[in-house]
Structure 1
Amino acid sequence: MVHAEEVTRSFGGTRALDRVSLSVRPGEVFGLLGPNGAGKTTLVRILSGVLRPHGGKAWVAGLEVAREPHRVKARIGYATQEASVYRDLTVEENLLFRARLYRPKEARALAAEALVRFGLTPYAKALAGHLSGGWRQRLALAQAVVHRPEVLFLDEPTTGLDPLSRRSIWELIHQEAARGAAVLVTTHYMDEAERCHRLGLLFGGRVLAEGTPQELKAQAKARAQFLFAPGASLEEVRGWPGVLEAWPSGEGVRLLLRRQAPRAAGWVEVEPSLEDVFVLLTKEAA
């Protein structure tokens, strides 16, 4: 449903994307995980037909994006980091406006369905500008899918939201995947990445690894030791031979140790988090 092959893009002398390849299947939530500046938004803009690549190709819903960007835009839903709603229109008017752009004959029925499905009915007559951040983001997501797109691109859809609002948005995202849509979500929240079926770890414009959260953790465990040193000081641990990274954690220190390096007495092995995996991969890439 979504396929990128060796996609490259530069801005001046900066390589924003360096031969990026990935695929997203129907019914799948694919997470593009990376820090700010990794190239996530650039890739989404290319896949949605907003930006042209300088190299490589991309296909969305069976269409080559660079050749048919207008047809691609008619088949996708796209929600940006900032809730893209008209604040001086009501919730219902926002949904009607978006639905009429894609399916004018069914717009009213589609808007009514989205109000119910996203729990927005009590706010139908409220101005979008009067909604809280969480409800405004919910409206932005409803707008992105009101026309039932085959592919959904969500660029950091939960930025700035509280944990309960973030959880609610993710529930709605998985509902779209269950409907059969191919969903690509960008995020820099490691806990959110656990909610995806598969992940691509993007750093410096390159995909460092791809797989399910469990597969990525298994790959990392084969390359490094993930340990906890109870009662140890950060300075002591960082001076140990083979330590790749160390940071305070509760009553001790968490650390990454080279696979073959000896560990100190009392250090215990722990399961890596996705944050641990990401730290390891970025250290290796650097």
Structure 2
Amino acid sequence: MTGEAVIDVRGLTKSFGDKRVVDHFDITVPRGAIYGFLGPNGSGKTTTIRMLCGLLTPDEGEGTCLGFDVRKQADRIKEQVGYMTQKFSYYEDLSIRENLDFVARMYRLDRRRERVDTALAHLGLADRQKQLAGSLSGGWKQRLALAACLLHEPKLLLLDEPTAGVDPKARRDFWDEIRRLSAQGVTVLVSTHYMDEAIQCDFISYIAYGKKLIDGRSAEIPAMIGLVTYRVSGPDISALEDELKKEDGVEQVARFGAVLHVSGTDRAKLDAVAEAYRKRGTHRWDEKPSELEEAFIYLMTGARDNFTREPA
């Protein structure tokens, strides 16, 4: 990665009707980074991606993507971006190779056969190149979509929920490919709501209901919030969970299997709660590093849905 920004935008805003879907969003993405958009469905991730790649014009805001003005040079941006949508959008009655060849023709690419052959090889599709797209599983459709995005050798990949609905192995294989591309200098912006994917990103931006809640290096996000977390194990966890939610200093109780992760931002108060419950001798309390999942739950707790009706 270099310090050069591939994406640098400020104040991006987009409304549909009377609903503001993206609200004054800022983002700076360095070249070669894997940058994660993390947030629930409906949080504005897709709309933001479409503004960045030139498919939507912002109502407000300014900045550049790949050095081009996001408001005035959308066509130039689209030429150099690979955009993988949530929904599989290729022809199901064409084979893998036929789909890739069609995309290459649409881009009017030179070395068309060479580019298609390279994409088939890199994504492990060569042996299936004659298979109809409609007969592929979710994971193989995902590989085809990524191969199509790479044909014109983009400098920036925008991937919108790329692993939704695919099995864990396909997700791992996909991320292996993303890391390979990043190592070659391709910048990747990927939206996801999977925590195990978020931790593979160099940087993360948390988005909720159109607003950016926080962004930074992935490993630093929990510390930026100031969360202190205890791992609590023992009997009758459900009853303890209800009890802890009423304690002063406990801002969040999240269940992970048979244990609780109890978090707060006031260390003194939370430590006091932990010590009081330890003295009971019924449960084990161990302080643990706060991680992205605790941070995400904490941020979402205070976020307000922009589709919630205002009180009369």
**Contact 2:227/2:295, CA 8 A, preserved across alignment:** no
Length, aligned pairs only: 284
Match of 1:23 in 2: 28
Alignment of 1:103-114 (within 5 A): 103-114=108-119
* 8 A contact 1:6–1:55 mirrored in 2: yes
**Partner Cα distance (1:252, 1:179) in 2:** 41
- Structure 2: gaps of 5 or more residues: 1-5, 279-284, 305-312
Q: Which one-letter code corresponds to 2:260 in the other structure? A: V
> What residue number does 1:271 align with?
289
1:241 equivalent to 2:254? Answer: no
Aligned partners of 1:99 and 1:107 also within 8 Å: yes
Secondary structure in 1 matching 2:110: helix
Hey, what does 1:216 align to over in structure 2? Answer: 221
Q: Does 1:9 align with 2:14?
A: yes
1:60 to 62, 65, 76: 65
The answer to whether residue 192 in structure 2 is matched with residue 174 in structure 1 is no
> 4+ residue stretches of structure 1 with deviation over 6 A?
none
- State yes or no: 1:282 paired with 2:300: yes
C-alpha separation in 2, matches of 1:41 and 1:92: 28
How far residue 282 of structure 1 moved from its aligned partner, in angstroms, is 2.7
TM-score (norm 1): 0.94
User: Does structure 1 residue 228 correspond to structure 2 residue 228?
Assistant: no
- 1:285: Cα distance to partner? 4.4
Q: Offset of 1:7 from its aligned partner?
A: 0.5
Equivalent position of 1:118 in the other structure? 123
Looking at structure 2, the residues matched to 6 and 235 of structure 1 have their Cα atoms a distance apart, in angstroms, of: 41
- Equivalence for 2:143: 138
Residue identity opposite 1:186 in structure 2: S
Structure label with greater radius of gyration: 2
Distance in 1 (CA, whole Å) between partners of 2:75 and 2:128 is: 33
1:192 equivalent in structure 2: 197
More divergent stretch after superposition (75-84 vs 154-163): 75-84
- Identity, in percent, stands at 39
1:6–1:57 contact (8 Å) kept in structure 2: yes
RMSD value over aligned CA atoms? 1.5
How far did residue 251 of structure 1 move?
A: 3.9
Normalised by the length of structure 2, the TM-score is 0.87
Counting only pairs closer than 5 Å after superposition, residues 30-109 of structure 1 correspond to structure 2 as: 30-109=35-114
Instruction: For residue 105 of structure 1, report the CA deviation from its aligned partner.
Output: 2.2
Task: Return the letter of the residue paired with 2:71.
Answer: A
Bigger CA drift: 45-54 or 258-267? 258-267
Per-residue CA deviations over 1:82-126 (Å, capped at 9, x if unaligned) read 222211111111111112222432211100110111110001111
Quick one: distance in 2 between partners of 1:282 and 1:185?
Answer: 19
Task: Tell me, yes or no, if the aligned pair for 2:227 and 2:290 is still in contact at 8 Å.
Answer: no
Q: Which amino acid aligns with 1:263?
A: V
CA distance in 2: counterparts of 1:274 and 1:258, whole angstroms: 15
Aligned mates of 1:161, 1:123 — CA distance in 2:
18
Q: What is aligned with 2:169?
A: 164
Is 1:205 aligned with 2:248?
A: no
Q: Distance in 1 between matches of 2:258 and 2:12?
A: 45
Higher mean C-alpha displacement, 154-163 vs 196-205? 196-205
User: Do the aligned partners of 2:38 and 2:192 also contact (CA within 8 Å) in 1?
Assistant: yes
Which one is further off, 171-180 or 43-52?
Answer: 171-180
Equivalent-residue separation in structure 2 for 1:251 and 1:52 (angstroms): 47
Distance 1:123 1:230 in 2: 49
* 1:130-187 deviation digits (Å, cap 9, x = unpaired): 1111001110011011110111110000000111001111111122222211111001
Deviation at 1:284, TM superposition (A): 4.2
